Amino acid sequence: MRFSLLILLALATVLRTGAQTPVADSLLRKAEALKKDSNRVNYLLAAAKLVAPADQLRARKIFNQSLAESIEIGYYPGHFNSLVELADLFHTTNQLDSALLLHEQSLRVAEGQGDSLNIGMALFNISIGYRGLSSFEKALDYSLRGRRILEKYGKKEILVQVNDALCNLYQLRGEKTRAIEFGNLAVKQARELKQDYFLTSALVSLATVYLTSDDQAAGKPLLQEALTLAKKLENPRVMAAVLSNLAEIERMNHNFSAMSVYIMQSLGLARQTGAKDMECSALRALAIAALQGKDYSRAKQLATEARQISMEYDLKLEQISCTRLLSSIAYATQQPALGYELDDLSNTILDSALTDLMSKQSAELDKKYETEKKVSTIQRLEAEQKVQALTIRQKNLVNSIFIGAAIILALVALLIYRNYRQKQKLQQQRIRELETENQLASAEAILQGEERERTRLSKDLHDGLGGMLSGIRHTLAGVGQSQSVPDAAMGTITRSIGMLDSSITEMRRLAHNLMPDALIRFGLDTALRDFCHDINKSGALAVSYQSVGLAGLEIAGNTSVTIYRIVQELVNNIMKHAAAKTALVQVTKIPGQMTITVEDDGKGFDTGSAASGIGLENIRSRVSYLRGKLDIESTPGSGTSVYIIVEDAG
């Protein structure tokens, strides 16, 4: 068992008892007679608060109605209060994630209105939600932020709740001195306010600090006073929590008969309020008492019922404790195989719970902190297991120690293995990155070599062969103008000059394809426009060229040449294979990114089954060199669309 803490939520200050149900019905009848306005919402809220202790499902429906109507009519106080009250109900039934979500919504609503008082309350309520989820660092942060805002208003009825919550948080963090400081302050403020509900909660919180430090002399009187106040308030949930704590004191003193009396009362109240966490804890405590009295049949029945509740409502800690208790009962009844099986099951549940906890907190805590917290939790739970095992029978001591040691060794081995696997994954990832970098470096070297060779060949053709052919043409032209040339030879000279003109034109075209002069002199946009223009003039394909953001843009030489070659290769592929009539080349430059789109209306192909040719592989290699992404969409008979994205081009 654990000591139970009472949880107060801001604005949840109205005492709610089943005896007030007739009053609630009267308020509901008044609400039904009104049109949808703020008065109607206020009646609904007041009625739901009175109904909540006796019928939480009905209260939830009423709160949902008040929430919907508040939003519809734009009534901010009703909107905020409905969210807070609904969260309170979810918290009471241990639906902590839903409660936290509603409190975060209430914070956004208050911030939207600039209502600093309700912002402070919402921050305080969120801290309680995180405390329930064991996120104590976040809980403390939100609580202190809320306290700084609420202190400005000096409202003791609010500050007493904040100080009470801080007492709980520091106790959960193991900071006893700070916990006692805020606990005494909360008790003092509650006495000054003469608010029994706040005083009861503050007394339980302060008593819990003392009891978790084994100071029963200081803690027990506080609980007894809290029990007297709880009976006076006729608040069943508060009474159940106080009785549960008193029972825990009797268990620590091995006074199981007195413990059973407290627990039976707590169990009845827990069932009355629908508090499944308290009901489960009470049943488990009764099972422990029966086990101590060697009433194994009753112990098993109670422990099984408690475990079913813990599984149905996903109470992980109770599920682990109940499973271990059933294991202890199995050992006590000479069923070691079943005991070991249940022990193993509890450890599996524990592993699952710890994994869930680590995943939720991994964004806030580093790996070292998570590991220490996990080991600490395991050690605490193992200590509880050993204490329970020792109380069963002395002869099970060796078996219990062996099982505990095996579990610890298994967990250590698991942590070592996980650490090893993580390092192995990181090493493999680094190897893949290095391989990718080497491949890109190789591709860059190959592409640069190709472009240098293309440039050299282009210059050699233009300056060497081009000059020679031009010289020959000039010579033949001079001979043709001579008066001494026979008429029969003039025809041959004219045809030769024509053939030389064709050769010079073809040589210039070849030199231009190897390294376009426009790309070097005027840039990528002009070079691509000239290339598409030349294709259009040839009549082989009607190419439409569009560019956005390229005008006057300077692009690195390697990048511009590579993009030009990609477009050149794609258009050549269209002319060779697509049987297309028209094509579109579109290049768009936006900050940090360049996109290239080449489309045609050709025959298309099946991208899933078509083999990659040399041209397509060259395109993929060049896109990879640019660290870009290539997407090809095509179906037979529907043309082809190639889309390329290059990050940080230019």
DSSP calls for 449-461: HHHHHHHHHHHII
Average pLDDT over residues 42-49: 88
Q: Please give the DSSP secondary-structure letter assigned to residue 584.
A: E
| Helix boundaries (H) for 33-134 | 38-51, 56-73, 76-92, 96-113, 116-132
Q: Please, which pLDDT band fits residue 375 given cuts at 50, 70 and 90?
A: very low
Per-residue model confidence (pLDDT) at position 461: 55
* C-alpha to C-alpha distance for 179 and 138, rounded to whole angstroms: 17
Is residue 188's pLDDT more than 80?
yes
pLDDT at 457: 63
Q: What is the residue-averaged pLDDT of the chain?
A: 79
- Which has the closest alpha carbon to 531: 539, 519, 547? 519
Query: Which long-range contacts does 412-421 make (Cβ < 8 Å, 24+ apart)?
Result: 414/351, 415/371
Long-range contacts of 66-74 (CB under 8 A, 24+ apart): 66/41, 69/36, 69/40, 69/41, 69/44, 70/41, 72/36, 73/36, 73/37, 73/38, 73/41
Task: Name the pLDDT band for 21 (thresholds 50, 70, 90).
Answer: low
Closest CA to 325 of 279, 276, 292: 292
Average pLDDT of the residues in 455-483 = 59
Contact (Cβ atoms closer than 8 angstroms) between residue 555 and residue 498: no
Highest-scoring range by mean pLDDT, 145-159, 246-260, 301-315: 301-315
Residue 505's pLDDT is what? 61
Residue 629, beta-bridge partner list:
645
What contacts 230, CB < 8 A, 6 or more positions away?
200, 238, 239, 242
**Residue 254 banded pLDDT, cuts 50, 70, 90:** confident
Please state, in angstroms and rounded to a whole number, the distance separating the CA atoms of residues 405 and 378: 12
Q: What is the mean pLDDT of residues 320-328?
A: 90
Distance (Å, rounded) from C-alpha 554 to C-alpha 650? Answer: 6
Identify the CA nearest to 367 among candidates 419, 412, 420: 419
SS3 call for 391: helix
Tell me, what amino acid is at 308? Q
> According to DSSP H, which parts of 393-486 are helical?
397-459, 466-480
What's the mean pLDDT in 231-254? 82
Gap between the terminal Cα atoms of the chain: 67
Render 5-43 in DSSP notation, one character per residue: -----TT--S---GGGHHHHHHHHHHHHTS-SSHHHHHH
**For position 9, what pLDDT does the model report?**
35
Name the pLDDT band for 109 (thresholds 50, 70, 90).
very high
Task: Using a pLDDT cut of 70, give the percent of the chain over it.
Answer: 76
**DSSP letter at 608?**
T
Report pLDDT digits (tens) over 130-161.
877 778 788 888 888 888 888 888 788 888 88
Cα–Cα distance, 432 to 234 (Å, whole number)? 68
Q: Looking at residue 79, what is its pLDDT?
A: 93
Q: How many C-beta atoms surround the C-beta of residue 93 within 10 A?
A: 18
Residue 585 and residue 564 in contact, taking contact as beta carbons nearer than 8 Å: no
| Least confident segment among 297-306, 315-324, 513-522, 596-605 | 513-522
Q: Which two tokens stand for residue 562?
A: 């590579």
Whether residue 228 contacts residue 203, with contact meaning beta carbons closer than 8 Å, is answered with no
* Pairwise CA distance, residues 624 & 9, whole Å: 58
Q: What tens digit of pLDDT does each residue of 518-567 get? A: 677 778 888 889 889 888 988 889 999 999 988 878 777 678 888 888 89
For residues 98 and 88, the answer to whether their CB atoms sit within 8 Å is: no
Which pLDDT band holds residue 485 (cuts at 50, 70, 90)? Answer: low
Is the per-residue pLDDT at 387 higher than 70?
no
What is the residue whose two structure tokens read 């210059």? Answer: 459
Across residues 560-588, what is the average pLDDT? Answer: 89
- Taking the C-alpha atoms of residue 13 and residue 198, their distance in angstroms, rounded to an integer, is 8
Total number of residues shown for the chain: 650
401 contacts: CB under 8 Å, gap ≥ 6: 386
Instruction: Indicate the angle between helix axes 156-172 and 176-193, nearest 10 degrees.
Output: 160
The helix or strand, by DSSP H or E, that contains position 589, with its residue range, turns out to be strand 582-590
